[in-house]
Every structure is written in structure tokens, then in C-alpha cells.
Amino acid sequence: MLDLISHCRALRGTLKPTAEATVATECACCGLPGASIRVGDDLLCMICVPAFALDTPDIDTMAGVIWMPQMDQGVLSRLVCAAHAALRPQNTAEVQERARNALDSLADLRSASRRRVGTYQPSVLRETALTVPAHSLIKRRDRLSGLRILVLDAWFQTEARDFAALLTLRGNA
Ligand SMILES: [Zn+2]
């Protein structure tokens, strides 16, 4: 399971995506097929990539930090994937509206992140976590942070073709 604070402490420049060809592989984060991108040791689907590829230059426009301790990153990714699939024009206006409301509610959780850690920008969290002395994190032991990465609409717009291909692969097209 992804602990965002620990993940943010990876060496600078190491959290960048590289394409792989093994799309039938299950994603290391959400567990669904379609893992085609590697970030460090993890083979991921295109929906989970922004949560891991925090050194992507425009990460703050593609993703936001939210406070959601009740749901791990993989479950959140499945939810976001389903909501964006529901937004497609072949669905009814009612289905699209429910999906939009769900995504807006998730986006609102950025304010809870800002209250708790002072930011909802992944790049700021990444830089801050790198500067926290290791001894300050000892009390956390193995506890997971309630911080998650929410992939924003901009990512789905930029990667629209890959998203359509992923849905076809997963039988949701
Ligand atoms: Zn995934």
C-alpha cells in the first residue's frame, strides 16, 4: 500500500514514468489489468501513475493531494476510473451528473489536505517531505498517512487516448 509521506522521500528525480509494453499485467496499485508504465519498482496503469510519478514537471496540474484515510490509493484509483468512464458521452446525463458530483466531492477534499499539511500540491508535499529529518518521522513507525493523490481532469484530457485504450482492455468500453 502506498504511504505518500514515505514515497515522497525517494531520491529527487527518481519518481518519473517510463513506458513499458506489458499492458496485460495487473497494476501494482489498483490491481486491475493495464499496467504499462513503470515508476521506480512499480508497474502501474495510467490512472495510478500520477500518484507515484511525483517528479513529473506539471504534476500539480494533473493531480492534487487529498485527505482520505478511509480509502487506500488503489481503491481511490478504481473509483476515479469508474467516474471518468461514466462521464463519457454515451452515458445518460443523469449518470454523467452523478459521476461529476462524485469527482467534485473528491476534489473538495484538497482543502482538508491543506488544513492538515499546509498544501494540496503534490510537488510541495514532495519537497517538504524530503526536507523533514528522518528522526522526526520515527514516531510514525509503520503507520500509513491518510493523504492520497487525486488524479484531476487535466490528466484524463491529456491522456484521453490511453484512457480509452485502458477501458477497452478492461472490457468497459
Ligand atoms: Zn492502477
Residues with CB under 5 A from ligand 1 (ion): 27, 29-30, 45, 48, 77
pLDDT band at 2 (very low <50, low <70, confident <90, very high): confident
Distance in Å, CA 133 to ligand 1 centroid = 31
Distance in Å, CA 36 to ligand 1 centroid = 10
Which of the pair, 89 or 138, is modelled with greater confidence? 89
Per residue in 56-108, pLDDT tens?
999 999 999 999 999 999 999 999 999 999 999 999 999 999 999 999 999 99
Q: By C-alpha distance, which of 60, 65, 46, 54 is closest to 14?
A: 54
Distance in Å, CA 30 to ligand 1 centroid = 4
What percent of the chain is modeled with pLDDT above 90? 72
The order of strands in the sheet holding 42-44 is 17-19, 37-39, 42-44
pLDDT band at 125 (very low <50, low <70, confident <90, very high): very high
Distance in Å, CA 160 to ligand 1 centroid = 16
pLDDT band at 139 (very low <50, low <70, confident <90, very high): low
Pairing relationship of beta strands 63-67 and 147-151 according to DSSP bridges: antiparallel
pLDDT band at 123 (very low <50, low <70, confident <90, very high): very high
Distance in Å, CA 26 to ligand 1 centroid = 8
Residues 6+ apart with CB under 8 A from 163: 46, 47, 84, 156
Distance in Å, CA 32 to ligand 1 centroid = 6
Q: Give dist(CA 59, CA 123) in Å, integer.
A: 7
Cα-Cα-Cα-Cα dihedral sign, residues 124, 51, 72, 68 = positive
Distance in Å, CA 48 to ligand 1 centroid = 4
Angle at 68 between CA 83 and CA 78, to 5 degrees: 30
pLDDT band at 17 (very low <50, low <70, confident <90, very high): confident
Which of the pair, 134 or 83, is modelled with greater confidence? 83
pLDDT band at 4 (very low <50, low <70, confident <90, very high): confident
Distance in Å, CA 47 to ligand 1 centroid = 6
Distance in Å, CA 136 to ligand 1 centroid = 31
Which of the pair, 66 or 1, is modelled with greater confidence? 66
Q: Give dist(CA 43, CA 35) in Å, integer.
A: 6
